[in-house]
Structure 1
Amino acid sequence: MKVHSLFVYPVKSLAGIEVDRFDIDDFGPAGDRRWMIVDDDRRFVTQREMPELARVATILAEERVVIDIPGEGRFPLVATDLALRVLVWRDWVPAIIGRPEANEALSRFCGRSLRFVYMPDSSFRRVDAVRVEAYRRVGFADGFPFLVTNTASLSELNGRLDTPVEMRRFRPNIVVEGVGPWDEDNWQQLVIGDNRLSIVKPCSRCVMTTVDPATGQKDTALQPLRTLSGYRKTSDGVIFGQNAIHESPGSIRVGDPVTVNKSE
């Protein structure tokens, strides 16, 4: 088994970036979901309610995140010195507001008042304490630093769909190949190169999987979520992929070997 592909998401719920490698820092994949979009109530905004966000591209340029908004152009995301507490799920998190140019352009594109906010190193958001006893941090990701998926599971799902979907729908960080469909259900720990990741929770999927990442349009038939719910529904929800945490800093590359410890 080996790493098939890698993705980072500099801004929560905007388009991700496929990369050949990424470094791992205390938050997880370096730079992953350190930026987020909030409304005037300081609450996080995602493709769940605004699928058009999928059309906003992200670019990494000289250690800076640049966004490309259709009809508006490109804007670097630059943190100001203005602090703000923001809500992501149940967590109120100290953040820093981004410069107004990008905020105003995104607001025009979406037709509502929105702002970019950044999570600085000084901000600490804990991973789900119900699943992880260790006092570990995460950025603006839903709950955990990593999402791992399996190419064979996507192929099996696509065999049930009238129109196949891309792995991008599921927004993984690490995609592996070389094992059978749904083999990941039994994983406990992954060793990827010199890195050790613990599997902590199956990933429950939502309506974001019904958004075409190329067009920002929702599938009116709610695929692939509806098909998954017919045979992948558990007490944790409708499952595709596994959430994970890491033990230490490092780096992961496409092609790295992957070994697995499984539950009995």
Structure 2
Amino acid sequence: MRDRCWTVIKEDGNMVSAKQAPRLVLLSVTCEDGYITLNAPEMKALRIPVELPSTNSVWNCRRFGIEAQGRDCGDEAAQWITTFMNMVPCRLVHYEANMLTRKPGDFLPAFPPTDEVAYAEGSPILLISEASLEDLNNRLEKKVAITNFRPNILVTDCSPYEEDAWVEILIGNVELKGRMSCPRCVFTTIDPDTGIMNGKEPLKTLKSYRKCDPSEQHDFKNNPPFGWLYGIDKTGIVEVGDPVKQPQIW
């Protein structure tokens, strides 16, 4: 789950998401030999060690008013990310084990107080099925890619929205517990190939047929559910091709 352990912050400590800076979706990251490499259009690749010097400063990083911590990746990384995003000065920070985490249960009642995240909005796991995406695309004039939704687990060979009923699942040796469906926002309207937000689709179509349970209206507001957020009850290893199992067949 190291994929969600880096974030961009402004110099006041507030995290920057693609909802405020859509160009972030154009940034790609690879990790090899103890380094991450950042690539972006018209930018020279930036290589940063995963293990940062302990002398680098530690920032308090806020999202939804709740703080986590992150170690500064250095001035070169700060200049690179600021130039790429073409906005106010920003810093790149990295979450390290034993740093302060955020508790999604502080703002989403579906999450228990034991759940913790660093920089993700509410959950370390977002799962969507290919069938659900296909069903949505059948309703759209212009199809969208799965990258519009940024899941980190994509499931095949099931029915559309079957994942809505997967409360407990086992993938590899990792036990996952469903917390809530994912409320979708304007992030889904950012074209992953151009970094431009159109502000309408696929969100408009999702709102026309995907509705939250009335008891969850406070959490979802006007955002339609699509995909599921999971907590991790037992850590382990997940590999491409692993089957998704439910309790009766574990």
TM range (shorter): 0.7 to 0.9
Q: Between Structure 1 and Structure 2, which shows a larger proportion of strand residues?
A: 1
Aligned runs of 1:163-182 on 2, under 5 Å?
A: 163-182=142-161
TM-score between both structures, scaled by the size of structure 1: 0.82
Instruction: Identify unmatched segments of 5+ residues in structure 2.
Output: none
How far apart are residue 176 of structure 1 and its match? 0.8
- Paired residues of 2:103 and 2:117 also in contact (CA < 8 A): yes
Residue aligning to 1:223:
201
- Paired residues of 1:69 and 1:106 also in contact (CA < 8 A): no
Equivalent residue for 1:105, pick from 48, 58, 80: 80
How far apart are residue 209 of structure 1 and its match? 0.6
- Paired residues of 1:34 and 1:119 also in contact (CA < 8 A): yes
Cα distance in structure 1, aligned partners of 2:30 and 2:139: 34
How far apart are residue 143 of structure 1 and its match? 0.9
How far apart are residue 60 of structure 1 and its match? 1.3
Aligned runs of 1:121-160 on 2, under 5 Å?
A: 121-129=97-105, 130-160=109-139
Greater Cα offset, 89-98 or 38-47: 89-98
How far apart are residue 50 of structure 1 and its match? 1.1
Cα distance in structure 2, aligned partners of 1:51 and 1:126: 24
Equivalent residue for 2:66, pick from 79, 88, 91: 91
Q: Secondary structure at the match of 2:131?
A: helix
Question: Deviation per CA, 1:28-75, whole angstroms, max 9, x where unpaired?
Answer: x2x121110011221111110111111121111223221113222111
TM-score between both structures, scaled by the size of structure 2: 0.87
Partner amino acid for 1:87? R
RMSD: 1.7
Q: Secondary structure at the match of 1:241?
A: strand
Aligned positions, number: 232
Partner amino acid for 1:43? N
Cα distance in structure 1, aligned partners of 2:92 and 2:173: 35
- Paired residues of 1:75 and 1:102 also in contact (CA < 8 A): yes
Cα distance in structure 2, aligned partners of 1:84 and 1:203: 28
Partner amino acid for 1:193? G
Q: Secondary structure at the match of 1:125?
A: coil
Question: Deviation per CA, 1:226-264, whole angstroms, max 9, x where unpaired?
Answer: 1001111322331110000112221111111112359xx
How far apart are residue 181 of structure 1 and its match? 0.9
